[in-house]
Amino acid sequence: MEEKQIAEAITKAHKGISQYLEIMTLFPNVNASDDADFRRKFNAFYRVRQRPPEWYTKYFSYMERHKGSKPSFDDVLDDVYELTGRYEPSFSSKLVATLNPEQPVWDIWVLRNTNTRVPSYASKRKVEQAKVAYRIIQGWYQQFLKSKDGELVISVFDRMVPAHTKFTNLKKVDFVLWQTRED
């Protein structure tokens, strides 16, 4: 990655950076299971939509119950499936990353930029395959954060974002990956 490309990605991510800061500032101080403002902001930032009301109730109640802990992606994926009856790797990862900002999110741009293959939704083994895919994403981040490119992303982010100390290095890279898209 080149510095110009990183700076452009951070500029594009400006709104999301502000939204993320607001969510992560609110989260420790609200009851996620019933705080409408937090839920609305979380849903808008992570684009959680088109789920039945009971799905949101179960999802945010789970988030609130696990506040202060660092559950694994594997456990959350299994638990969300058990609670909601839905296979939700993306939303499971976003819950994990909210509870533990040292963990990555699963979204189309992160998957593409980490060259991680998505399990087919039709696969009978998709849950286990998603767990393997998430470990691949985690491994990619571990390597990238140690690389010169990773150091450059963090350096540019720190220079461009006044509140940079409120972000984990992984989250700084996340914002760049979310905005690094093929034309």
Span 144-175, pLDDT tens digits: 999 999 999 999 999 999 999 999 999 999 99
Which residues touch 168 (CB under 8 Å, ≥6 apart)? 101, 102
Contact, 10 vs 160, CB < 8 A? yes
Number of separate domains in the chain: 1
Rg (CA), the chain: 16
Report how far residue 181's alpha carbon sits from residue 177's, in angstroms, rounded to the nearest whole number: 8
pLDDT of residue 108: 86
pLDDT of residue 46: 92
pLDDT of residue 182: 62
The proportion of the chain whose per-residue pLDDT surpasses 90, expressed as a percent, equals 83
pLDDT of residue 156: 98
For residue 133, the one-letter residue type is: A
pLDDT of residue 177: 86
Phi, psi of 80 (to 5 degrees): -65, -40
Mean pLDDT of the chain: 93
- Residues of the chain short of pLDDT 70, as ranges, are 181-183
Give the residue numbers spanning the domain of 60.
3-179
